[in-house]
């Protein structure tokens, strides 16, 4: 007897949406799409990865892995092999400081073609290898099997993504008539583009799996703070409701589609800026910092070992946790106190003060971040209300930020509609999507071991 054909699946990612904001929106008539989905789904507060920064998080969503597998370490990092800084877009000024042309190439092409780990398998690759049609709108971790020529003459090289691929007007697998996605971003142009493309795809039944990525809420939250971006959230909601309307209304939408809805990370208000570089001005190291996470890379000329470099932050209250590897263990340090930890067959072996890493899944997230070969020798998670200045000295002071291990940065809303299991981490999303279609997840995933 043939197996029933699974419903098509839409993964909606609202960048930077906090659980508290989602929970308010789920009861608010001004956000009808979120209210409708919440009323028909299973919801939980889930957890992100570390550092909880968009390139790292979207790579975890796409691959079902933490950074030890997908290899994307931060928004800005030092490429040891090429002896240069990689900057994916901390700020426009940081892009200029790193070299505008190189930064654009890194963010659009190299992250997927070179930096994303070869051991990692994206959900787009796995589904299309199994014969399904996948689609992505504006999703930056897009690696797939299909070659796409650029839609803009100024872009001279192709990209390899899912079969239906729409990336900020730069790559468009189909002509949809969608508006420009960049100009006027402060009034929601990127989400409006996603709405138009999503409507076109749903109307034509053009996918089995769609990632509908909506970044404008995060943009507004960085400027005004996580509690002052309601207008932007209503625009994101409208981009979701466009899919519902294109399907013929709520009942028809639920008949046709299962839905996963999540954020990639949280957001916390920042009221203090810290230049992590100043602590290492005489150490001959390379510091890459942005938002609420920083990394320190040793060089051939570095004076002092890694432990001595970590101790420089003992008197810095803005550093909530300083993380490094020592032989077969990881160490978390704060104010001179330490916690040593390493994985075992049954969980974790620890020695020291467990209150140094009280955050949810902190040991797993910190260990995976440290085991990424592209990560710094030191990883620094910022303290309450603190943001690290980027390469150009820019911050979101007075607005929102993220990247740290803290709950505000790392807890995310996770909603499953029309699925038998609910995820509890963003790393559960890709395996859950694959199992929905009867596709075996990559061996490095834990399947649905984390599912509720």
Question: What span, in angstroms and rounded, lies between the C-alpha atoms of 165 and 149?
Answer: 11
Cα–Cα distances in angstroms (integers) from residue 285 to residues 79, 133, 279, 299, in the given order: 13, 46, 10, 6
Residues 217, 17 contacting (CB under 8 angstroms): yes
The helix or strand, by DSSP H or E, that contains position 70, with its residue range, turns out to be helix 67-70
Of the listed ranges 162-171, 179-188, 313-322, the one predicted with least confidence: 179-188
Give the single-character DSSP code of 313. Answer: T
Q: Is 208 helix (H, G, I), strand (E, B) or coil?
A: coil
Task: List, for residues 381-427, the tens digit of each pLDDT value.
Answer: 999 999 999 999 999 999 999 999 999 999 999 999 999 888 999 99
The pLDDT score that the predictor gives to residue 448 is 37
CB 431 within 8 A of CB 423: no
> 111-156, pLDDT tens digit by residue?
999 999 999 999 999 999 999 999 999 999 999 999 999 988 878 8
Alpha-carbon torsion (60, 66, 71, 74), positive or negative: positive
**What is the pLDDT at residue 184?**
59
Name the residue among 185, 204, 192 with its Cα closest to residue 238.
Answer: 192
pLDDT of residue 189: 82
Angle at CA 364, nearest 5°, toward 360 and 366? 90
Q: Give residue limits of the domains in the chain.
A: 8-72+116-269+406-436, 272-395
How crowded is the C-beta side of 89, counted as CA atoms within 13 Å?
12
- Domain 8-72+116-269+406-436, second-level architecture: 3-Layer(aba) Sandwich (3.40)
- Which CATH code fits 272-395? 3.30.1360
Mean pLDDT taken over the chain: 94
* Predicted TM-score of the model (pTM): 0.96
Q: For residue 449, is pLDDT > 60?
A: no
> What's the pLDDT band for 185 if we cut at 50, 70, 90?
low
Tens digits of residue pLDDT in 62-76: 999 999 999 999 999
- Please tell me the distance from the alpha carbon of residue 160 to that of residue 438, in angstroms, as a whole number: 24
Q: For residues 134 and 162, is the Cβ–Cβ distance under 8 A?
A: yes
- Per-residue pLDDT band at 280 (split at 50, 70, 90): very high
Residue 269 tokens read as 């208000």
CA distance between the termini of the chain: 30
Quick check: helix, strand or coil at residue 323? strand
On whether the CB atoms of residues 409 and 264 are closer than 8 A, the answer is no
Transcribe 396-442 into DSSP letters: -TTSEE--SSSHHHHEEEEEEES-SS--SBGGGHHHHHHHHTT-PPP
Contact (Cβ atoms closer than 8 angstroms) between residue 390 and residue 289: yes
> In degrees to the nearest 10, what's the CA dihedral of 404, 375, 12, 145?
180
DSSP 193: H
Statement: residue 96 has pLDDT above 50: yes
């Amino acid at each position: 007897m043939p197996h029933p054909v699974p419903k098509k699946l839409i993964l909606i990612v609202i960048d930077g949406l906090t659980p508290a904001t989602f929970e308010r929106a789920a009861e608010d008539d001004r956000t009808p799409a979120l209210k409708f989905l919440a009323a028909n789904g299973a919801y939980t507060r889930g957890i992100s990865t570390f550092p909880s920064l968009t390139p790292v998080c979207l790579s975890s969503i796409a691959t079902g892995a933490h950074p030890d597998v997908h290899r994307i370490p931060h928004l800005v990092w030092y490429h040891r092999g090429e002896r240069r800084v990689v900057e994916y877009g901390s700020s426009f000024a940081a892009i200029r400081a790193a070299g505008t042309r190189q930064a654009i190439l890194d963010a659009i092409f190299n992250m997927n073609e070179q930096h994303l780990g070869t051991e990692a398998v994206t959900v787009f690759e796995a589904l299309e290898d199994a014969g399904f049609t996948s689609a992505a709108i504006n999703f930056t971790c897009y690696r797939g099997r299909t070659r796409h020529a650029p839609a803009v003459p100024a872009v001279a090289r192709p990209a390899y993504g899912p079969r239906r691929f729409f990336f900020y007007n730069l790559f468009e697998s189909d002509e949809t008539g969608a508006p420009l996605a960049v100009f006027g971003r402060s009034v929601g142009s990127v989400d409006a583009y996603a709405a138009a493309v999503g409507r076109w795809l749903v109307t034509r039944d053009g996918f089995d799996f769609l990632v509908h990525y909506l970044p404008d809420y995060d943009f507004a939250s960085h400027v005004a703070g996580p509690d002052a971006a309601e207008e932007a959230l209503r625009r994101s909601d409208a981009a979701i409701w466009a899919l519902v309307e294109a399907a013929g209304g709520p009942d028809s939408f639920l008949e046709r589609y299962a839905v996963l809805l999540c954020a990639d990370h949280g957001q916390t208000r920042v009221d203090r800026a810290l230049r992590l570089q100043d602590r290492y001005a005489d150490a001959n190291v390379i510091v890459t910092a942005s938002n609420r996470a920083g990394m320190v890379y040793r060089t051939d000329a570095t004076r002092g070992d890694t432990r001595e470099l970590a101790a420089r932050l003992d008197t810095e209250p803005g550093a909530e946790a300083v993380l490094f590897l020592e032989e077969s263990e990881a160490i978390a340090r704060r104010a001179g106190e330490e916690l040593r930890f390493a994985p075992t067959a049954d969980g974790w072996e620890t020695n020291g003060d467990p209150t140094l890493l009280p955050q949810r899944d902190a040991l797993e997230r910190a260990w995976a971040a440290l085991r990424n070969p592209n990560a710094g020798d030191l990883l620094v998670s910022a303290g309450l209300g603190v943001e690290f200045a980027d390469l150009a000295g820019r911050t979101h002071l007075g607005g929102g930020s993220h990247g740290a291990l803290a709950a505000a940065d790392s807890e995310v809303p996770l909603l499953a509609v029309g699925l038998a299991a609910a995820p509890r981490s963003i790393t559960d999303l890709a395996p859950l999507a694959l199992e929905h279609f009867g596709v075996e997840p990559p061996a490095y995933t834990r399947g649905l071991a984390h599912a509720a």
